[in-house]
């Protein structure tokens, strides 16, 4: 199995630009999670989906952040407009069931200048 | 609200020795599960071990074992025969249903483990 795939691996952008992060979960997994990791706040859950439906988005910082899952094999996390404080590593993870092990992707390191 | 606390920002262990990483959590739920994840310098999050709260027996995975004390809400990780490859950031994590009915997934702040040759 290829594991969870994220793209891009690194993203450098300027403040105000739109950023789109992409994730392909493990085939057959029905849960998909987006996390953000920073030195200050650690690893935070932003949103998670079950069967492509958003279940809990209470971790999404503000309206500049949005996430979609148009089908079982693809999800996006969009930041518009981006700000320097959005600089972080963003992880996508998937699992088979909400009580099972979450398998993480390699992360996207985002730097907003 | 559920919380996860890792009080040791950094730990060191001599190669081949044993080390224990601490984790405490707080929840009012009875049905939940706990994880330890490892994050090496590559940044990849890797599951180390998993424990269901309803199971009294402590989980074991090769050199890794947990001491799960449900009443004390403690979930420590013991690494035996430490190897250089164990050097990483270790995160304790909680998963369980919240009062709203959705599941909550909460990670601790991590403990950086250094293994000394």
A–B: how many Cβ contacts below 8 A?
45
pLDDT digits (tens, 9 = 90+) for A15-70: 999 999 999 999 999 999 999 999 888 899 999 999 999 999 999 988 999 999 99
Alpha helices, DSSP H only, in chain A? none
**How close is the nearest chain A Cα to the Cα of B45, in Å?**
6
Does residue A1 register a pLDDT over 70? no
Contact yes or no for A45 and B105 at CB 8 A? yes
The answer to whether A40 faces chain B, any CB pair under 8 Å, is: no
The answer to whether A90 faces chain B, any CB pair under 8 Å, is: no
Q: Identify which of B86, B105, B48 has the alpha carbon closest to the alpha carbon of residue A36.
A: B105
User: Can you say how many angstroms the Cα of residue A84 is from the centroid of all Cα atoms in its chain?
Assistant: 17
User: Judging by beta carbons within 10 Å of its beta carbon (0-12, 13-18, 19+), is residue B58 exposed, middle or buried?
Assistant: middle
Q: What is the spatial distance between Cα B105 and Cα B108, in angstroms, rounded to a whole number?
A: 10
Record the tokens describing residue A74, joined without a space: 């693809």
Average pLDDT, chain B: 93
Q: Phi and psi for B86 in degrees, rounded to 5? A: -80, -10
Q: Kindly identify which residue of chain A lies nearest to residue B96, measuring between CA atoms.
A: A99
User: Can you say how many angstroms the Cα of residue A87 is from the centroid of all Cα atoms in its chain?
Assistant: 13
Does residue B87 register a pLDDT over 70? yes
Average of pLDDT values for A79-107? 94
Which one of B33, B46, B102 has the shortest CB-CB distance to A55?
A: B102
Q: Give the mutation candidate from A33, A96, A99 for the B interface (greatest B CB count, under 10 A).
A: A99
Record the tokens describing residue B58, joined without a space: 């402590």
Which one of B50, B102, B109 has the shortest CB-CB distance to A42?
A: B109
Cβ B21 vs Cβ B12: under 8 Å = no
Q: Identify which of B83, B106, B80, B97 has the alpha carbon closest to the alpha carbon of residue B23.
A: B106
Tell me the pLDDT band of B83, cut-offs 50, 70 and 90: very high
């Amino acid at each position: 199995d290829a594991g969870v795939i994220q793209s891009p691996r690194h993203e450098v952008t300027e403040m105000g630009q739109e950023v789109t992060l992409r994730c392909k979960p493990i085939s057959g997994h029905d849960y998909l999670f987006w996390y953000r990791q920073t030195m200050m706040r650690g690893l935070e859950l932003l949103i998670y989906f079950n069967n492509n439906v958003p279940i809990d988005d209470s971790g999404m910082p503000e309206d500049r952040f949005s996430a979609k899952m148009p089908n079982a094999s693809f999800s996006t996390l969009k930041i518009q407009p981006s700000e320097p404080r959005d600089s972080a590593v963003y992880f996508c993870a998937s699992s088979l069931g909400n009580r099972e092990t979450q398998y993480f992707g390699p992360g996207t390191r985002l730097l907003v200048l | 609200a559920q919380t996860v606390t890792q009080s040791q920002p950094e730990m060191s262990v001599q190669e081949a020795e044993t080390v224990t990483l601490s984790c405490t959590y707080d929840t009012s739920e009875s049905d939940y599960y706990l994880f330890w994840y490892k994050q090496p310098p590559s940044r990849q999050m890797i599951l180390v071990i998993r424990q269901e709260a309803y199971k009294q027996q402590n989980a074991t995975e090769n050199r890794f074992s947990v001491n799960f004390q449900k009443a004390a809400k403690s979930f420590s990780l013991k690494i035996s025969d430490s190897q250089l490859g164990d050097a990483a950031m270790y995160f304790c994590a909680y998963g369980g249903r919240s009062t709203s009915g959705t599941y909550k997934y909460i990670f601790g702040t991590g403990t950086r483990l250094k293994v000394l040759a």
